[in-house]
Structure 1
Amino acid sequence: MKEKGLITAYKNRAKELLPILLVSVLWDKPVDENHFMDMNDTLWNEIISISGQHGVLALAFDAMLTLPTELQPSRIIRLQWFNMVCQVENFNERIYRVIFLLDKLFTDAHIPYMLLKGIGIASYYPVPEHRSSGDIDIFVPENAEKAIKIIKNAGAVPDHDTKRHCCLFINGVTVEIHRYCIGTKDRMLDKRYQIISKRLLKYPPHHILLQDHVIPVPPIMFDAWFLPMHLMHHFIYVGIGLRHLCDWIIFLRRYSEKIDKRIYAADMEYIHMMRITRAFGHILTEKLGLPADMFPIGLTNDIKEKNDARRIYENIMYGGNFGRHLRFSTNRKILKLPTKFTSLLRFADSQWKQQMVDPLSGIRVLIGGLFPNSH
């Protein structure tokens, strides 16, 4: 029992220290040494484990290196950590090669496209290769079917196809070709999502430099809305990790002055996302160092906002990237529970999150799940 309590204490301490490391990377400043005076390798290993669960392993490594040598983990721990960082870099390099291949295929075929989130946001980090990536998301506003056919002819292996996107494998990398960018299970709100999305995509186009390639990405005003919407969509239905929050901060740090806050607030109000957006704003400012004036919506000291933020942050820290470390996810593997049972538990977990958007939204999603063909 005593040993179990000690393990829990290490986990909780590691969860407190990880955001402190991330603040160093996000804002280009040394780590506050005062928090790392009583470290040991067991605690460092716990930080490494949790940073991996949240998709920020390489970022935390960069921050650790800013500490004086005597406060860093032992040499063997540093080497083990470094090897994990190399794996992140190698996978990102593989992703780059696939992006450059897609860029050539689409450019030669005169098919306009945009690189969504992920690697596009990674280019804004101090060390882009240290932003952990999962897949490649490509939005093809027109000729999506032609684009899919072209990459199949280039050797891509189809995985699955939905109304929203087609998923394929290219050279060991997952690629999603999006017919539209974002949706929600709430049909009423989904119509509003599409209205906003189409309007914001009309803003001036934007590009990033990925190594020596110029790659098209969505307009700044679109990403200002889409990144948090994508993040909150995953939070409600699956779960998110600290990586998603870091992406949002990195984007705001670069472009907050170019966001029309009046339009942004009106759009969030239109889709009932103001309450949950403010809650996330408190997390970004209080846990990850974002100056309040960089957040596109004004924050208050309202106790309800603070409570929402606390509950959301606890859920994020507990579940990790895409909620993969929530207890019902790990228990399903251990107890071999049916996938449908786990889906039911996830649905139940999403309901309190739905209430932050719209008390009726959860009911509409429930009805839509029970009667998928109803309108």
Structure 2
Amino acid sequence: MERAEQLFVETVSASLENKSVSWKEPLTLNEWQRIFYLAESHHVLPMVYETVFRCDAVKKTMQKESRNLLQFYKRMTMNLVMLQTIKTQEYLELVQFLQKKGIWMLTVKGIICRELYPKPDYRISGDEDILVDKTQFEKCHKALLEFGMKPVKKGINIGTEYEVSYMKSGSPLYIEVHKSLFSPESEVYGDFNRFFMRSAENPARILVEGTEIFTLDYTEHLFYLICHAYKHFLHSGFGMRQVCDIIMYSNMYGEKINWQLLLGWSREIHGEFFAAALFKIGKKYLIFDEKKACFPEEWRKIKVDESLLLRDILDAGVYGYEGRERRHSSNLTLNEVSRQWNGERKNPVLQTIFPSLKSMKNEFAFLKKIPFLLPAAWLIRILRYEKEMRKNAHKNVTDALKIGNQRIELMRKYKIIE
């Protein structure tokens, strides 16, 4: 890691304990810019700013550009925290409303993770995720409309979608209602849903500002957080916020987690070395406490080099969205994982250019109703890439191929594929 990246990781770690960093000497403008750039791309800006603004390095900063930069991020932090506070309150009102309507639902990630942090609303969330049984989906949809929420996509067929996003006019609240936690159409992680088929039978409960929220069982929720990060890793990557969630959850609920079951599940999805690397990052760079989390010896003895995963995390941003080339590289990584996990003999290059109908349905909704238009969807997809190539010569495509191949090698390192 470069110095600014080390400082960034240090601020994230300090924020998890509501501490300030103890930097004595002023930082350069480039270092401050890099730290805050990383904080933004990993969606942890309020957490980072809160840890640095009282330190001597800030007090001793005399350079006008640096001071202006710090003031800019102070204002941004205040705005983000106020916005998150509003979203939290509105979500709690929604939960109460849906419960009164008799909607049985589980909340995952989002507010459940925020409650693990010393200052919950400094851990910002883009949305809230709700898991609803498909038999209650229509009832839930009507209740959401009554509450003032509307589907983000107009004309959407809620009967065929596995998740539907909703927004409320004049409100920052954004929710995703899921029939399943992962897209059943995915040839790579659609099978992950089998671990959560009976989640409603033994839910955990947490109290947030007087509102009782039902969520996944402790072991299932930690596994879901790992699976969610894993899904994005198989695409184009994930960020530090996801690592923090996993570590904070483990520290808080470790004694209630069936670690042996978690290890077995991780092995079933070829993810034990990936998960072990996450915990090693947590121990080495963050505040993962093996004793507090009741982390067993069988997990501790897994030998893995966490530095490779940490490098990928820092480069990726919150959901692997750091750079168009990285996002496009997911076509290579997903196709290679699918080819190996499903025992396919397809040419990986042709599979990248002409994906299967099942995977194309995620990108082209019309294929769910008119599957025979798959060749048209392929053509649209190819024309999009051609348009991008004309914009930036073929550099973007070349870089995407390079990143994709590098990340395939990384997956081999963690024994996800052979």
TM-score range relative to shorter protein: 0.7 to 0.9
Q: What SS does the aligned partner of 2:165 have?
A: strand
Is residue 67 of structure 1 aligned with residue 55 of structure 2? Answer: yes
| 1:279 aligned partner | 277
Please, which runs of 5 or more residues in structure 2 have no aligned partner?
360-418
From 63, 71, 78, give the equivalent of 1:79: 71
Specify whether residues 351 and 66 from structure 1 end up closer, same or farther in structure 2 by C-alpha distance, changes over 3 A only: farther
From 252, 255, 266, give the equivalent of 1:254: 252
Shift in Å, 1:129: 0.9
Shift in Å, 1:188: 7.7
Specify whether residues 126 and 66 from structure 1 end up closer, same or farther in structure 2 by C-alpha distance, changes over 3 A only: farther
| Residues 296-344 of structure 1: per-residue CA shift (max 9 Å, x gap) | 6613473xx21xx322221211121112213516xxxxxxxxxxxx64x
Q: What SS does the aligned partner of 2:148 have?
A: coil
From 69, 78, 103, give the equivalent of 1:111: 103
Q: State the TM-score, normalizing by the size of structure 2.
A: 0.72
| Residues 199-251 of structure 1: per-residue CA shift (max 9 Å, x gap) | 45433431231x34333222222212111111111221132111111111111
| 2:229 aligned partner | 231
Report 1:292-307 matches (<5 A).
292-293=290-291, 294=293, 295=295, 298-300=299-301, 302=303, 305-306=304-305
Q: What SS does the aligned partner of 1:134 have?
A: coil
Is residue 19 of structure 1 aligned with residue 9 of structure 2? Answer: yes
Mapped contact 1:121–1:247 kept (Cα < 8 A): yes
| 2:21 aligned partner | 31
Report 1:123-162 matches (<5 A).
123-141=115-133, 142-160=135-153
Q: What SS does the aligned partner of 2:78 have?
A: helix
| 1:121 aligned partner | 113
Is residue 202 of structure 1 aligned with residue 201 of structure 2? Answer: yes
Mapped contact 1:205–1:217 kept (Cα < 8 A): yes
Shift in Å, 1:70: 6.0
From 88, 91, 111, give the equivalent of 1:96: 88
Determine the C-alpha separation between the residues in 2 that align with 1:82 and 1:20: 19
Determine the C-alpha separation between the residues in 1 that align with 2:91 and 2:204: 19
| 1:337 aligned partner | none
RMSD of the TM alignment (CA)? Answer: 3.1
Report 1:203-218 matches (<5 A).
203-209=202-208, 211-218=209-216
| 2:323 aligned partner | 326
Determine the C-alpha separation between the residues in 1 that align with 2:75 and 2:26: 25
Mapped contact 2:104–2:132 kept (Cα < 8 A): yes
Determine the C-alpha separation between the residues in 1 that align with 2:261 and 2:127: 31
Is residue 360 of structure 1 aligned with residue 341 of structure 2? Answer: yes
Specify whether residues 66 and 23 from structure 1 end up closer, same or farther in structure 2 by C-alpha distance, changes over 3 A only: farther
Q: Percent identity?
A: 20
Determine the C-alpha separation between the residues in 1 that align with 2:188 and 2:235: 17
Specify whether residues 327 and 269 from structure 1 end up closer, same or farther in structure 2 by C-alpha distance, changes over 3 A only: same
Determine the C-alpha separation between the residues in 1 that align with 2:284 and 2:340: 27
Determine the C-alpha separation between the residues in 2 that align with 1:101 and 1:218: 20
| Residues 167-203 of structure 1: per-residue CA shift (max 9 Å, x gap) | 1212243211111123476648644x23321245433
Specify whether residues 185 and 312 from structure 1 end up closer, same or farther in structure 2 by C-alpha distance, changes over 3 A only: farther
Mapped contact 1:65–1:72 kept (Cα < 8 A): no
Q: What SS does the aligned partner of 1:239 have?
A: coil
Is residue 241 of structure 1 aligned with residue 225 of structure 2? Answer: no
| 1:43 aligned partner | 31
Deviates more, 1:226-235 or 1:289-298: 289-298
Determine the C-alpha separation between the residues in 2 that align with 1:19 and 1:146: 44
Please, which runs of 5 or more residues in structure 1 have no aligned partner?
1-10, 330-341
| 2:40 aligned partner | 52
Report which of the two structures shows the higher radius of gyration computed on alpha carbons.
2
Deviates more, 1:95-104 or 1:18-27: 95-104
Specify whether residues 285 and 362 from structure 1 end up closer, same or farther in structure 2 by C-alpha distance, changes over 3 A only: farther
Determine the C-alpha separation between the residues in 1 that align with 2:212 and 2:32: 39
| 2:397 aligned partner | none
Specify whether residues 227 and 362 from structure 1 end up closer, same or farther in structure 2 by C-alpha distance, changes over 3 A only: farther
